[in-house]
Amino acid sequence: MVRNPEANREQFRPNDHPNDAFLLTTVVGSYPKPKWLNRADELVDDPDSKFDAEDLEEAHDDACRLITHEHERAGLDTVVDGEMRRNEMVEFFADRIDGYEFNGPVKVWGHNYFDKPSVVEEVTYDEPWLVDEFEFTSDVAERPVKVPITGPYTLGFWAFNEAYPSTEELVYDLADLVNEEVEKLVEAGARYIQIDEPALATTPEDHAIVGEALERIVSGIDEDVRIGLHVCYGDYSRIYPEINDYPIDEFDVELCNGDFEQIPTFTDPEFEPDLALGVVDAHTAEIESVEEIKENVRQGLRVVPPEKLTISPDCGLKLLPREIAYGKTENMVTAVREIEAEIDSGAIDVENPLDD
């Protein structure tokens, strides 16, 4: 059953918001790293370099500060540090969870490699994974900070399972660990958590496993904390309307990349959580115009009213040139603010949002 998005959405409206209508703007998470940070990551592994772990930590701090401010300059209502400290979405967390080990990279697509971990014993929680990252970003940000976490289904199924009778059982243990981490983040002040489950797009028949994992993740978490679920790619009709039963406040989808052909999927039965809609394509190095993005935002109004619509890029932008990522983000926010003003003035009929 959907949580209570009305109970936690309004806290993200800026005090100086210019319009009565409010479409929450955010990003999915990852963002291009500054070139000098990539060089710093290489230098710390070079035994002939004088660049050490302390220097790298300073570089990560500088990069997080830079990208957080870049998000704020683009006008986003909620910001992320661009995941500057993270290398890969499974590897980063597996490195912090007792029970995983690494045995070398495997080829995943094209010429890319992924250091796929193995689960070799029961997974357990030791030190917090993201609290330091959240506290640092919150200290430098003037806008609320969202925290993306790779979900337990993806952490379980994108690893070799050498310890559990079934990967489903591993997922449920990982979900309990994610719940511990969310509790720690909430204690530190976090109010916007996004669970990333890209693996569900490839195996939608496992939606019930993800639902049970989410129940464990949100256990004991107050409704003033916004819980989002991001699932990119895939045929969403294979997990809809089942996602209406998920204990989430917001469901984040990647539809711009498919020209919104799947939007009708979410119109019957009624979409229950808030919709977080991608309106710029994370896979094309072309900055969409404000007018084009405004047409994409209208697609979301076909599913939910403005007060239930969040706007973001389709997915993380880390594979794009940084100036392209910024241009997309800035145009996205401009488009949203213009749509809000047109809703206020009555120029957009929210019952028939595609009509001029």
pLDDT digits (tens, 9 = 90+) for 188-217: 999 999 999 999 998 999 999 999 999 999
User: Can you give the pLDDT at residue 74?
Assistant: 98
Q: Which among 5, 61, 3 is positioned nearest to 274, based on CA atoms?
A: 5
pTM of the model: 0.96
Residue 18 has, within 13 A of its CA and on its CB side, a CA count of: 12
Please state, rounded to an integer, the average pLDDT across all residues of the chain. 95
CB-based contact 320:281 (threshold 8 Å) = no
Average pLDDT over residues 345-355: 93
User: Can you give the pLDDT at residue 70?
Assistant: 98
Please determine, for residue 110, whether its predicted confidence score (pLDDT) is greater than 80: no
Average pLDDT over residues 150-169: 97
Please determine, for residue 61, whether its predicted confidence score (pLDDT) is greater than 70: yes
Tell me which DSSP letter residue 145 carries: B
Give residue 20's pLDDT band: very low, low, confident or very high (50, 70, 90): very high
What is the phi-psi region of residue 47: left when phi exceeds 0, alpha when psi lies from -120 to 50, beta otherwise? alpha
User: Can you give the pLDDT at residue 265?
Assistant: 96
User: Can you give the pLDDT at residue 111?
Assistant: 64
Give residue 48's pLDDT band: very low, low, confident or very high (50, 70, 90): confident
CB-based contact 335:61 (threshold 8 Å) = no
Q: What are phi and psi of 315, to 5 degrees?
A: -155, -170
Specify the pairing of strand 117-124 against strand 98-102: antiparallel
With a CB cutoff of 8 Å and minimum separation 6, the contacts of 4 are: 223, 249
Q: What does the alpha-carbon distance between residue 350 and residue 341 come to, in Å, rounded to a whole number?
A: 12
Specify the pairing of strand 160-161 against strand 192-196: unpaired
